[in-house]
Structure 1
Amino acid sequence: MKRIFLAVCLSGIAVASYAQTKTPAKKPVAKKPTTASKKSVPTTGLKSALDSTSYAFGTSIGASLKTTGLSTLNYEVLLKGLKDAFTGSKGVLTQQQAQQCIEKALAKASSVKNKAEEAANKIKYAPIMKEGQDFLEQNKKRAGVQTTASGLQYEVLTAGTGVKPQATDSVLVHYKGTLLNGKQFDSSYDRGEPISFPLNRVIPGWTEGVQLMPAGSKYKFFIPYNLAYGERGAGQDIPPYSTLIFEVELLKVNGK
């Protein structure tokens, strides 16, 4: 379980005191507080450096916990846990039980947070998703384009005569990847050398598609978002819900 490190700035509150002078011949006249005196009046309820320190720790702990996706806690029990740990009192839970509770809560919070982000992305990137769906619907009607049961589309550019790889094989390929608008996001050709990788360690569209290729072939793949980088995309170049186009040249099947 990862530890949360809290950075805390300790602050003190300065309170200015004012004295009034009295003149025997005149009644004291109440002065209106100046801008400076207004600012010096404490309104936070923090009366000492210890109060400020304690509050600073509380806000830091709360801010750190909030980043995990937790939306609420039983604050009174939280304070009891802090006090027990700080004073060395016997805890209600064992260390193992406490860790299990934390891991379970964080996992649940992360799941809720991810679902919320996916829902927001689905709305935000709806035009990209629709663009991909419309493209694939029209593209499958083109002569030479074949569609598999998963929705993967491919076109044979060069038919090879070598062996076909299995999902557990490593392969040597040259490739180029673009978005539907033609923007290139990756190319082994530009790097000047092919790349080897295990076929079961890449996006599902590649794992399925490259297995269709005899060595020596060059195919063009049209990969729907659910067989590519899905709802999250990849880096800055591939937005969520992107349909991708790859030209892949299978140079060699390296074997297992």
Structure 2
Amino acid sequence: MRLMTKVSLIAVAVFTLTACNKEAEQPKPLTLDTDAAKQSYSLGVSAGRFIDSTIKEHEKLGLPLASDVILRGIQDQLAGKAQLTEEEVQKVMVALEQTAREKQTELAKAQAEQNIAAGKAYLEQNAKKPGVTVTESGLQYEVVQAADGPKPKATDVVRVHYTGTLTDGTEFDSSKERGPAQFPLNQVIKGWTEGVQLMSVGSKFKFTIPSDLAYGERDMGTIPANSVLVFDVELLGIGEEAEQPKAEEATK
């Protein structure tokens, strides 16, 4: 999280001078007819966006910040009338940043626990659907389109088309627009390594992968920690390549 300690004082000052005039009922007309004016205004807008996002981030953590007090602090500093010493300001900001980190950790832990419970419930329901097979590891798969082609080994390089979604249907990756993905099968998540070995070239499978066979407790950006992942996979081919492309991000 970016905190106020990381804000450029110049940017904040410009924001205050260009966007904050609390005594005036309406702002004066502004003409942006020079590079300096546009640069100054852009710097102010950037600082304003940062302040707004910082306030919203802290609100999510249960740490409300008052925009009017923030701007008053800027004005007082510019006027040389700050009501806290530099040492006091630094002490408060360090404490705020520490509290924010602790809150983030608490929220992340709570969300991870919710994901575990939700994932377990989803897997239990999905396992009851007709056509779904559950392996010893807990991997669930459904044969969407059968084929009689060869099956890969874990040490093979495979070429696939795939789409990956969360259990709520949110798509986080797909090869459909980029073109087929190619990678060594033993260099991807466990659920892929196990599941694709069950496929014949030309077949299409749907895999529902428990979090411990995917990314586990790791938060992968658009993929929250402890997430069950759903992949629609088509195995296009098997073959060793002189130069093997890196594994796709969604399956590392």
TM-score, length basis structure 2: 0.53
Residue of structure 1 equivalent to 2:57: none
Contact 2:154–2:193 (8 Å) recurs in 1: yes
Residue of structure 2 equivalent to 1:56: none
1:190 CA displacement: 2.5
Alignment of 1:167 onto 2:167: no
Residue of structure 1 equivalent to 2:40: none
Residue of structure 2 equivalent to 1:226: 212
1:120 CA displacement: 7.2
Q: Please state whether the residue corresponding to 1:172 is helix, strand or coil.
A: strand
1:123 CA displacement: 3.0
How far does the alpha carbon of each residue in 1:74-109 deviate from its partner, in whole angstroms, 9 at most, with x for none?
xxxxxxxxxxxxxxxxxxxxxxxxxxxxxxxxxxxx
Contact 1:132–1:242 (8 Å) recurs in 2: yes
Contact 2:112–2:217 (8 Å) recurs in 1: no
Residue of structure 1 equivalent to 2:239: 254
Residue of structure 2 equivalent to 1:212: 198
1:121 CA displacement: 4.1
Q: Matches of 1:164 and 1:211 in 2, distance apart?
A: 6
Greater Cα shift, 204-213 or 122-131: 122-131
Q: Matches of 2:219 and 2:143 in 1, distance apart?
A: 27
Contact 1:165–1:255 (8 Å) recurs in 2: no
Residue of structure 1 equivalent to 2:174: 187
Of 124, 128, 148, 2:111 maps to: 124
Alignment of 1:148 onto 2:135: yes
Q: Please state whether the residue corresponding to 1:247 is helix, strand or coil.
A: strand
1:206 CA displacement: 0.2
TM-score, length basis structure 1: 0.53
In the alignment, residue 201 of structure 2 is paired with which amino acid? A
Q: How does 1:101-112 map to 2 (within 5 A)?
A: none
1:122 CA displacement: 4.0
Residue of structure 2 equivalent to 1:137: 124
Q: State how many pairs are aligned.
A: 151
Q: Matches of 1:224 and 1:157 in 2, distance apart?
A: 19
Of 220, 224, 229, 1:244 maps to: 229
1:255 CA displacement: 3.9
Q: Matches of 1:177 and 1:124 in 2, distance apart?
A: 21
Q: Please say which structure displays the higher CA radius of gyration.
A: 1
Alignment of 1:197 onto 2:183: yes
Q: Please state whether the residue corresponding to 2:124 is helix, strand or coil.
A: helix
Moved over 6 A (4+): none
Q: Matches of 1:122 and 1:155 in 2, distance apart?
A: 32
Residue of structure 2 equivalent to 1:105: none
Structure 2 gap ranges (5+): 1-79, 88-93, 95-104, 242-252
Contact 1:233–1:240 (8 Å) recurs in 2: yes
1:160 CA displacement: 1.3
How far does the alpha carbon of each residue in 1:174-199 deviate from its partner, in whole angstroms, 9 at most, with x for none?
000000111100000032x1011000
Structure 1 gap ranges (5+): 1-34, 44-62, 64-116
Higher helix fraction (1 or 2): 2
1:233 CA displacement: 2.6
How far does the alpha carbon of each residue in 1:219-247 deviate from its partner, in whole angstroms, 9 at most, with x for none?
0000011101110131x210001000000
Q: Please state whether the residue corresponding to 2:176 is helix, strand or coil.
A: helix
